[in-house]
Structure 1
Amino acid sequence: MPGPHSSSDATSPTDPSEPGFDPEVLRARYRAERDRRIRPEGGSQYQQATGRFGYYDEDPYAEAAPPREPLHDRVEVVVIGGGFGGLLAGARLRQAGVDSIRVIEKGGDFGGTWYWNRYPGIHCDIESYIYLPLLEEVGYVPKWKYAPGEEIRQHARAIGRTFDLYRDAVFRTRVTALRWDEDASEWLVTTDRGDRMRARYVVTASGTLSEAKLPGIAGIETFQGHTFHTSRWDYAYTGGDAGGNLHKLADKRVALIGTGATAIQCVPHLGADAHHLYVFQRTPSSVDVRGNRPTDPDWAASLSPGWQQRRRDNFLALVTGGRVTEDLVDDGWTSSARLQQKLIPSDGYRALPPEERERAYEMADFQKMNEIRARVDALVTDPRTAELLKPWYRYMCKRPTFSDSYLETFNRTDVTLVDTADSHGVERITEHAVVVGDTAYEVDCIIFGTGFEVGRSGITSGRLPVHGRGGVALTDAWQEGPRTLHGFYSHDFPNLFQLGPLQNASAVNFVHVLDEQATHVAEVVAEARATQARYVDPAPEAEAAWVDTIREKAADLYAFQAECTPGYYNNEGMPRKRSEAYGDGPVAFHALLREWRANGGMSEVLVDAERDRA
C-alpha cells in the first residue's frame, strides 16, 4: 500500500554549510520558549483523580458492578490488567499450554486504554496492521490504516474470545495487594471485591497510561458547570459518539484544557459542534500529515502467513536506525526514524563520533520542525493564531502527532485558541469561568485533556502493595532503584512477572514490545512447568549483573531533555539523571532474550527444591 511519505523525508540533512536557516537563532528561540513554560514544581503540578476527584475515574461504560460472592479459589496464573499487555500474556500463556488463567480487570471488559478512551475522533497513531496484535491468530485485517478506537476495542474483545480468556476473567475488580506464601509457593491475591484467590504465577500488565491526572489549578473544585476527563468521555452530556455529532453541545461554551495527542483528535469534533470552543494551550503539539485511508481489499487478500510479524519487524528496524530494503509501513514515523533515536536510542546511535552525530541529528531536526511550522502557516489563516500553534522545540521533545483536520479547526470563528505559556498554564478556575491573565472565559463545560501518569504502574508507585519472601515489600527492596533481571522479575519475588518499559527496551509501537515480553514470560513459565521447578526467581548475581548492564548501556539523554520544552517525556522539564532503559534498543534486546532462552539462560531463574536459595 503506497503511503504519502518518502522514507527519506526530513532524516537526511542537506549540506550543513547551506542549511537555509541560522541554527543559533533556532537554539535561542527553543530555549526562550522552554523557559516560558517550565514550572518549578515539575510533575507535582498535577493531581490524581482520587479522593474528592474520584468521580473522574468512575466507569461510564458499564452498569454498577453486580454483586457476586468473593472468590477464594486457586488458579495457575493471575494476569492483572485486561488491555493489550494482559491479553497478550493470556494468549501466549494459552499457546504455551496453560489452561487455568484468570485476567483481573478494573474496567467492565477487555480493552485497557481502548476500553476507557472513547473520545470523539479517537484512532491509533501507529499503523493498525502492526499496532493491533494477534491479527493472524484472530483472522482479522483492520479496515483502516489507522483504526478508530471502537474497531480496536472490538479486536481486544475478539482476542479474549479467541483464546478463551473470558472463561475465568473477573471485571469491575481492582487488585489491592499481592503477598507471597512461601509454604505453598503461591501468591495470595486480594481485591476490592473481597476476593482472596491464590495463584502460582502472577503477571502484572496494568499499563503505564492507566491513571488519569488532573491539573492542580486553583479553584478547580469550585466550578459549577459540567466537567469530565477525556478518558471518561461523557456522551450523555455531549451527545454523539466517537464518530462525532456532539449535538448536545450546540448551545454550550466548552473549554478544553490540554493540547496533546488526545486534543489533536477531539478538537475537530468539538469545534464543529460546540456553540463556542476555547482550547487552552500551554505548549503546541507538532502536527504532521496523517493520511488515513481504507484498507485496500486486494492488498489484504494478497497477504501471506507471517505477514504481520514481518511488517512489525520492518517498522521496528526502521524506527530504531536499522537498514531495510523496503519501508513497508511508509508513514510519518518511518520518515522521521532518525530523529526518534533522541528518545529511544539503539546500538546504531553510537555509530558516529559524538560531535558529528549530534550535529547531524540537530540539523535534520531543525529541517523537520521547520517543515512542521511551515505546515501551520499553510493551513491556519490568522497569522497570530498560526504563530501560537507553532512548536518551538526539538522533534522528540514531545510525542509527535498527526492530523489532517486539527489545525484547520482554528480557522473557525467559533473556536478560540488561548495560549497560557506566559502564565505557565491556566491560572485559576471560578464558579463559571477559566481564568488566564486578565481574562475570564465563561464556559458551561470544562473537559480535561491532561493525560495520564506516565511510566508508573500500581506496583512501582506502591498503590498496589507487593510483599515477597519474608514479607519484604517491593518498594522497600527497590529503595535504591529498581532491581530486575531483564525488567521482568526481581529476586525474592518468585513467580512474579512485570510487563512494561522498566529495565528493558521500549519502542513507539509499544504493543509490539508487549508481545515480545508476553512471549518471553510464556516461555519461561512453560519451562518451569516442564522441569517442575519450585518457582521462578532470578539469582541475585544475575539480577545485579543486569542492573549493571542497564547502567553501562543507558544512553545519556539528560542534556537533550533538559533543553526540551516541558512534558511527560522529560518529567515536566525536570529530566531524570539516570535512564532505566536498555541502551542498545529493542531489536538488540529482543535478540538478547531469544539467545538467553536458547542457550541455558533459564538456569538463572528456575529454582528447584535441591537448589532453593532460601
Structure 2
Amino acid sequence: MSSQQLDAVIVGAGFGGIGAAIQFNRMGYQDIAIVDREDDLGGTWHVNRYPGLTVDVPSTTYSYWFEPNPYWSRLYAPGVELKQYAEHVADKYDVRRYMRFNTVVEGARWDEDAAVWLVSLAGGETLRARFLVLATGYLCQPRTPDIPGIETFAGRIVHAAKWDDSYSLEGKKAAIIGTGSTGVQLVPALAEDVSELTVYQRTPIWVMPKFDLGFTPATQRLFARLPAAQRLLRMSTDGFMDLMVTVAMWKFRRFRPVNRAAAAIGGLHRFLSVRDKELRRKLTPDYDFGCKRPTLSNTFYKALTKPHVHLETAGIERIEPDGIVSRDGSKRDIDTLVLATGFDVWESNLPAIEVIGRDGRNLGKWWRENRFQAYEGVTVPMFPNMLTQASPYAWVGMSWFDTVEYQMRHMNRLFGELQRNGANTFEVTEQANARFLQEMLDLLDDSVFHLGNCATSRSYWFNSSGEAPLFRPTSVRHAVKEQDRFPLSDYTIA
C-alpha cells in the first residue's frame, strides 16, 4: 500500500480527466494521479482509430472553451486531430506529468476513519487520496454481440474500438454488424477497399446531411492571430447545436413541429441519396427523431447503393466458420467480420469500476436498485469527496466538452467553499439529490423520450427499465448558469 496521500486520483485520461486535472491545478491541488488502463491519453480518441473516424459535432464546439484550436483542418475534424488536440492540452496545461498508463483500477473504497479514498490497482498497489474523480466516460466498455456461433468464425474479427491498422481489407469479402454512428462512418471507408461488403442493420438510424467545410491555411492563420473570429464561429455552432437539442428533444411537447422538421430534413437527405424504393424503406427509421443519437454523413447512403455493398435487415440467425446465416435462411460467405456494435453503457460502465462509499454503499448496486441519479450530474449521497463525470443526468448538449466544462465550474464553486471553510470533506445531502432528481424527471416529461415514439429505437440512451437518465434535459446555457447558483447548503461541508 502506498504511504503517500494524494490530493486526488482521477480515473481516466480522456478529455474529462484532463479537464478535472486542470481545474484541480487552478484550485491549488498539485498532488494528483491520473490513471488509465490504455497506453496513452485521449480516451475515446486514443482507443478509436478506425477508418473514416471523425467528430459528428462541429470541432469548434467539440473543444474546450478555454483552449480553442485554430488549426482544425475541417469543421468536422478527423479523429487523429482530436487525439493531437488532447496531447496539446495535456502538455500546455502540464497535466501529462500526473498520468500513469497501462494501469487498471480494480476498485475504490472510502475509508471513513482516515477520510480518504483507497483506490486499488491491479498488481496490489493502493493509492490514497482526499478526492476521487470518475472520468471513465460513457463509451469505454466495447460491446461484443452475443450471436450464436461467433466463436467458431474462422476468419478475422475486428472490433471498431480495437482497430488493427496492420490488417489489410483490400479485396476481402467483409461484413459489418451495426449501423450506429460508428457504422455510418465505417461503411463508406470499408466499401472503398473490400471486394464485397454486407451491412447488417438491426435498427435504422437518422442520418442527416453533413454541412462540412475545410479550413485553409489562411483561415487557420486568421483564427490563430484573431481568436475572436473563431469565437464568433463557435458561438454560431454552439448556439445552433444547443437550440436544436433543446427544442427538438427536451421541449418536444411545445415544439413538436421542429422535431418533425428535423425528421423531414433527414427524410429528404435519404430520398436524394437512395433512389431504390425498397432500399430506402429499409433505411427509414420507424421511431421519432431524437430517440436515438442521430448522425451526419454525406457518404453512408451512397455507399449502400454501390453494387458490391448489400444491406441485410432480416436479422442474424447464427455465424458459421465461413459466413453469416440470416433469419430468412440466406447466407453470406465472408472472410472478415467487422463489429461496430457500440459500447456497454449500463451493465459494466455505470460505474466502470466498483466504488464503495460510506456504510458500505456500493455505487453500482445502489444505482440499479434506487434509480440512476447524481446531483447536478456530479455528486452522489454517501460518497464523500467523489465526483463522477459520465454519470446520470450529466450529459448536456451533444458535445462532451459542454458537460466537462460545466462540471469544472461546479468544482470551482464547491472546492472554493471547502477551502474557505478549511474543511476536509464534502457530501451532497440526500434531500438535495432527491430534489434534483425530481427536477430532471419533471423536465423529461416534456421530452421526446416520454412523449415521442421511441419504442423501436433500441437506443443506448435508455436503460433496461426503459428510463433515459444519461442526459440533463436542459440547455447548455442553463446547465452552466446553475453551477454558479446551486445552494451551497446542498452540501455537508466538514
TM-score (norm 1): 0.73
Judge conservation of contact 1:484–1:547 (CA < 8 Å) in 2: yes
Instruction: Please report the RMSD computed on the Cα atoms of aligned residues, expressed in angstroms.
Output: 2.8
Judge conservation of contact 2:2–2:128 (CA < 8 Å) in 1: no
Report the Cα distance in structure 2 between the residues aligned to 1:108 and 1:580, rounded to whole angstroms.
28
Aligned partner of 1:510 in structure 2 is 400
Aligned partner of 1:605 in structure 2 is 491
Q: Which residues in structure 2 correspond to 1:525-564 (within 5 Å)?
A: 525-557=415-447, 558-564=449-455
Report the Cα distance in structure 2 between the residues aligned to 1:182 and 1:99, rounded to whole angstroms.
23
Q: Which residue identity lines up with residue 375 of structure 2 in the other structure?
A: L
Q: Which residues in structure 2 correspond to 1:192-591 (within 5 Å)?
A: 192-238=122-168, 249-303=169-223, 304=226, 315-321=237-243, 337=244, 341-343=247-249, 345=250, 349=251, 354=253, 357=254, 361=256, 363-420=257-314, 425-436=315-326, 437-454=328-345, 458=349, 460-461=350-351, 464-478=353-367, 479-504=369-394, 506-557=396-447, 558-569=449-460, 571=462, 576-577=466-467, 579=469, 582-591=472-481
Q: Which of these two proteins has the greater Rg computed from alpha carbons?
A: 1
Report the Cα distance in structure 1 between the residues aligned to 2:307 and 2:408, rounded to whole angstroms.
49
Report the Cα distance in structure 1 between the residues aligned to 2:219 and 2:17, rounded to whole angstroms.
31
Judge conservation of contact 2:247–2:258 (CA < 8 Å) in 1: no
Q: List runs of 5+ in structure 2 lacking aligned partners.
A: none
SS at match of 1:493: coil
Judge conservation of contact 2:444–2:450 (CA < 8 Å) in 1: no
Aligned partner of 1:184 in structure 2 is 114
Give the superposition deviation at 1:141: 3.3
Q: Which residue identity lines up with residue 358 of structure 2 in the other structure?
A: R
Aligned length: 489
Judge conservation of contact 2:175–2:200 (CA < 8 Å) in 1: yes
Report the Cα distance in structure 2 between the residues aligned to 1:374 and 1:607, rounded to whole angstroms.
55
Judge conservation of contact 2:179–2:340 (CA < 8 Å) in 1: yes
Give the superposition deviation at 1:593: 1.5
Give the superposition deviation at 1:579: 4.8
Report the Cα distance in structure 1 between the residues aligned to 2:470 and 2:57, rounded to whole angstroms.
24
- Structure 1 138/198 Cα, relative in aligned 2: closer, same or farther at 3 Å? farther
The CA deviation string for residues 361-406 of structure 1, in whole angstroms up to 9 with x for no partner, is: 2x44445434433433333354433333333432213222222222
Report the Cα distance in structure 2 between the residues aligned to 1:581 and 1:384, rounded to whole angstroms.
35
Judge conservation of contact 1:539–1:604 (CA < 8 Å) in 2: yes
Q: Which residue identity lines up with residue 550 of structure 1 in the other structure?
A: M
Give the superposition deviation at 1:255: 0.5
Report the Cα distance in structure 2 between the residues aligned to 1:364 and 1:581, rounded to whole angstroms.
20
Give the superposition deviation at 1:454: 3.1
Aligned partner of 1:111 in structure 2 is 42
Judge conservation of contact 2:8–2:131 (CA < 8 Å) in 1: yes
The CA deviation string for residues 509-555 of structure 1, in whole angstroms up to 9 with x for no partner, is: 22212111123224422432343212111233333333343344443
SS at match of 1:124: coil
Judge conservation of contact 1:81–1:112 (CA < 8 Å) in 2: yes
TM-score (norm 2): 0.89
Give the superposition deviation at 1:455: 5.5
SS at match of 1:154: helix
Report the Cα distance in structure 1 between the residues aligned to 2:278 and 2:406, rounded to whole angstroms.
47
Report the Cα distance in structure 2 between the residues aligned to 1:589 and 1:152, rounded to whole angstroms.
25
SS at match of 2:99: coil
The CA deviation string for residues 74-98 of structure 1, in whole angstroms up to 9 with x for no partner, is: 3111111111111111112222222
Aligned partner of 1:153 in structure 2 is 83
Report the Cα distance in structure 2 between the residues aligned to 1:140 and 1:319, rounded to whole angstroms.
20
Judge conservation of contact 1:488–1:498 (CA < 8 Å) in 2: yes
Aligned partner of 2:51 in structure 1 is 120
Give the superposition deviation at 1:183: 2.3
Aligned partner of 1:88 in structure 2 is 19
Give the superposition deviation at 1:160: 1.5
